Structure 1
Amino acid sequence: MRISQVGNDSAEETYIAKMRFLCLHGAGTSAESLNRQGGITQALEDEGHEFVYVDGRVESAPEPDLQGAGIPPFFTHYRRDQAPGEELGLAMDHVKDIIAKRGPFDAVMGFSQGSALAASLLVNHGRTNDQPLFKLAVFICGAAPYDPANGLEFVTATEEKYPITIPTTHIVGKQDPVYPLSMKLYAVCDPSQAEFYDHGSRHLIPFDLKNTEAMIATIKKTIARASQ
């Protein structure tokens, strides 16, 4: 697939790769729950991109907002409301096993805790490998990633180095209680490679047309950057 970019008096064709996304849900939800919120992915699927939704490592109680609404079982990647410690390593191993069995994947998309886990995976892989684990990442209402070295502290950036340097999309909600953690996640990503969109709402993926179109456009910019 190609898009045309018009500059001055000429048109330049830019290659846009078809991406296969690994999709990681939030705590207390499921692959099915995230898939059912797929308004932003439908248009991208129509353009040839693929989204593979997988469940977390362990069954758990549902997210409070899903009480009586979601379809069990529900899963989590690691414990909520406190540092995961050794559970982070187990969660990363679970995803690595999925990648080995169902990959390869070009990209990763995470919601809430799924974003944090994806970021920890990227950081962990980048510490010992020159080639990134994924070409791009989409973080939606993302939580802050824990350091894969111990699972006890948040990953931080320095003035000299950003832990995540691949193209990223950050979709956040200003009314989201997780918003401060979403900004911590944004802070560890190279800003020159990052796209940012604030839908202004809570801890969810909006379904209204205006926000959906804006989120899709933001993700497309990241896909285009990763295709270069």
Structure 2
Amino acid sequence: MKFLCLPGAYGSAKNFRVQLGPLASELERRGLASFVYSQGTHEVEPPAGWEDYFGTRPLYRFLDTRQGDNFDNLRRIRYVPHSMNAEDAMRMFQDCGGEGEDWHQQVWRDALDGVMKTVDENPEVDAIIGYSEGAMVGASLVVEEAEQEKRTGRKRRIKFAVFISGAPPLKFEGKDRIVAQLVDEAGVVIDIPTFHIFGCDDAFLSSAVALFNVCEPSKATLYDHGLGHIVPRDAENVRMLGDIFEELLPKIASEHENRREAGMACLGDGMNGCEVEGTTSQPSTDFT
């Protein structure tokens, strides 16, 4: 399986290669995966007070924030009371625009189109690993692929997604807003197998939980590394994550191949009563 790796805000392909290095090396050593690294197209300066936190310059974001960071208030989610559920927490801080501010919809469209272009330029990519902002973009990519397949017949490329300290996918609302897709409003919007990696000490835990909640529960796996808003790099977590990937990836590959063969059989049979997606005749794999 070949992963497209999407870094967080104020990251870069170079820095994410270092962040993900121990886990990527472990998966490569086990013969499970290979990796291609991408980054946002908008060069940015880190926030004041965080100049030395994000690593070697230059730094990038997928989102063009030159006209003001439309998503800045989401960072305040760290102060949400622990008693509030993930969806209510996201709703408190998802006011992504005001009257007369419609520029951000184009910002988001450009970001998503850029990542889809990267997928098209790497024909072997069939999975994603996203961290923080990269996970939000990756989740939105999965949803966009499913919508494009319905609209245009464009085949979906991503069959497995790994989200590290992520956030739920975004969608357009009205003419000038972007909002998170939340399970109590949109239901399950990601139907492929997913693996969610986050820590119980993550200041943005609510957003990671909200992402998990919009993924198909029978195909979603959770791993709590016990730390904060980071990519786990210590030996024990890397070993345990390697074990989980070693169990998950063959199942995902097998299910994908079974569906492909079932689809070809249906075509050969003239679609004689076949339903490839969502039928009881398909193998049911529990990824939990």
TM-score range, shorter chain: 0.7 to 0.9
The structure richer in helix per residue is 2
Which residue is equivalent to 1:178? Answer: 204
Which residue is equivalent to 1:14? Answer: none
Where in structure 1 are there 5+ consecutive unaligned residues? 1-18
Counterpart secondary structure, 2:129: strand
CA distance in 1, matches of 2:129, 2:202: 19
Which residue is equivalent to 1:224? Answer: 250
Question: Identity of counterpart residues, as a percentage?
Answer: 31
Counterpart secondary structure, 1:196: strand
Counterpart secondary structure, 1:128: helix
The structure richer in strand per residue is 1
Counterpart secondary structure, 2:183: coil
Deviates more, 1:212-221 or 1:195-204: 212-221
Q: Residues 165 and 229 of structure 2 are in contact (CA less than 8 Å); yes or no, is this contact kept in structure 1?
A: yes
Which residue is equivalent to 1:30? Answer: 12
Which residue is equivalent to 2:267? Answer: none
Per-residue CA deviation, residues 105-163 of structure 1 (Å, 9 max, x unaligned), is: 11011000000001111112212315533010000111222125676110123699521
- Residues 56/105 of structure 1: CA separation in 2 closer, same or farther (3 Å cut): same
Which residue is equivalent to 2:72? Answer: 81
Which residue is equivalent to 1:134? Answer: 158
- Residues 162/71 of structure 1: CA separation in 2 closer, same or farther (3 Å cut): same
TM-score normalised by length of structure 1: 0.83
Letter in 1 for 2:117: D
Between structure 1 and structure 2, the one with the greater Rg is 2
Counterpart secondary structure, 2:178: coil
Letter in 1 for 2:55: G
**Number of residue pairs aligned between Structure 1 and Structure 2:** 210
Per-residue CA deviation, residues 164-191 of structure 1 (Å, 9 max, x unaligned), is: 1111100011111111100011011001
Which residue is equivalent to 1:67? Answer: 52
RMSD of the TM alignment (CA)?
2.3
How far has the Cα of 1:95 moved from its partner? 0.9
Which residue is equivalent to 2:80? Answer: none
Deviates more, 1:77-86 or 1:25-34: 77-86
TM-score normalised by length of structure 2: 0.67
